[in-house]
Structure 1
C-alpha cells in the first residue's frame, strides 16, 4: 500500500507540474482538438475504409483487438475505480467533462496507442507520426485535467499490448 501511495504522490506532483506550464491555455485548446481525434468514431471510419478497400484481415484485426482492448479497459476501470483529478484535488476543475467517472486507465490513450501500433505495422513509413499522435493524445488528456500521468502510461501499455495480441492472434 505504501508503494501505491508513493506512486500516487509522484503522479499528483507531476500532474500539478503539467498544470503550472506557462502556455497551458494554448496547450489545453490544442489538446481538445487532439483528444477528439481519439474519441472513437474515426476508428470506425478507418475500419469502414479498410472494409471498402477489401482489407478484411485488417478489419478483423481492428475489430478483434478493439473488442479485447475495450473489455480489458472496462475491467480495469471498474476494478481500480481511481477517481479523476477534479474529484480528488482541492480547487481543481478539469477543462472538459469526462464521459465516465473513473480515470485509470485512459481509454483515449489506450485507443490511440492501439491504432498507432497497428498503423505502424501496416504503414511503417509513418511510424513516428503515428506514435507522436498517440503520445499527444495522452498528454492532451493530462492537460485537459481528466487523467493523471500514470493513467495515460497504462493506457499506452494497454493499447499497445492489445494491438500486439490482435496482430498475433489474427495476423495478416
Structure 2
C-alpha cells in the first residue's frame, strides 16, 4: 500500500527526468528557434490558414472542416480551461530554479498542454475528412507537443494528456455534429 501512496511522486520524478533530457536534446541544433516556429504554427491562426488554403485549392471538405473546427474549439476551450484551472500543475520553469524556459507561457498552469490538445483535435478532424493527409497532420501535431517540451513550458505527461484529450474531443465533436454536415 505504501508504494501506491508514493506513486504520484515517483511519476512526477520520472516526468521531470524525461522533461530535462528531452528539453535539452530537442533544443539542438537550432537552439530553440525551430521549436518556437513549430509551436507558433499551432497557434489558432494556423488552423484558419489551413482551412483557407483548402478553400483556395477547391477541396470539397474545406467547409466541413472549418465547421467542425469551430464546433470543436467551442467545446475544447472551456474543457481545457476547466482542467488546467482545476488541476493547477506548476509549469517546469517555475518548479525548477536550475532550468530556464525559452518562452513564458500565456497561462499559468501546465496540465494538459493546450497547444497539443488543439493540434491533435485538428489532426483528428482533418484526418477524418482528408485521410490522405493523416500522416502529415499527426506528425505535425506530435511536433507541436515536442516543441512545447523544447521550449520548457510542458512536461511529457502534459503532452500525452493533451494528445489524448484532443483526440477524444475530436471524436466527441464528430458525434455532436453528426447529421449537421450531411
Query: Taking structure 1 as the reference length, what is the TM-score of the superposition?
Result: 0.90
SS at match of 2:121: helix
**How far apart, CA to CA, are the structure 2 residues paired with 1:95 and 1:66?**
27
1:64 matched residue in structure 2: 71
User: How many positions carry a matched residue from both structures?
Assistant: 172
Residue 11 of structure 1, CA deviation: 0.3
1:75 matched residue in structure 2: 82
Shift in CA distance, 114/98, structure 1 to aligned 2, threshold 3 Å: same
1:4 matched residue in structure 2: 8
Residue 44 of structure 1, CA deviation: 3.4
1:163 matched residue in structure 2: 170
Residue 82 of structure 1, CA deviation: 0.5
User: Does the aligned pair in 1 maintain the 2:65–2:126 contact within 8 Å?
Assistant: no
User: Does the aligned pair in 2 maintain the 1:120–1:127 contact within 8 Å?
Assistant: yes
Give matches, 1:17-166, under 5 Å: 17-21=21-25, 24-26=28-30, 28-47=32-51, 56-166=63-173
Structure 2: 5+ residue stretches without partners: none
Deviation >6 Å, runs of 4+: 49-54
**How far apart, CA to CA, are the structure 1 residues paired with 2:48 and 2:106?**
19
Shift in CA distance, 116/64, structure 1 to aligned 2, threshold 3 Å: same
User: Does the aligned pair in 2 maintain the 1:50–1:58 contact within 8 Å?
Assistant: no
CA distances 1:13-51 after superposition (whole Å, capped 9, x unpaired): 101111332862526221111000101122234456678
RMSD: 2.2
**How far apart, CA to CA, are the structure 1 residues paired with 2:149 and 2:23?**
9
**How far apart, CA to CA, are the structure 1 residues paired with 2:163 and 2:118?**
8
**How far apart, CA to CA, are the structure 2 residues paired with 1:84 and 1:23?**
18
Query: Taking structure 2 as the reference length, what is the TM-score of the superposition?
Result: 0.85
**How far apart, CA to CA, are the structure 1 residues paired with 2:23 and 2:46?**
29
User: Does the aligned pair in 1 maintain the 2:117–2:164 contact within 8 Å?
Assistant: yes
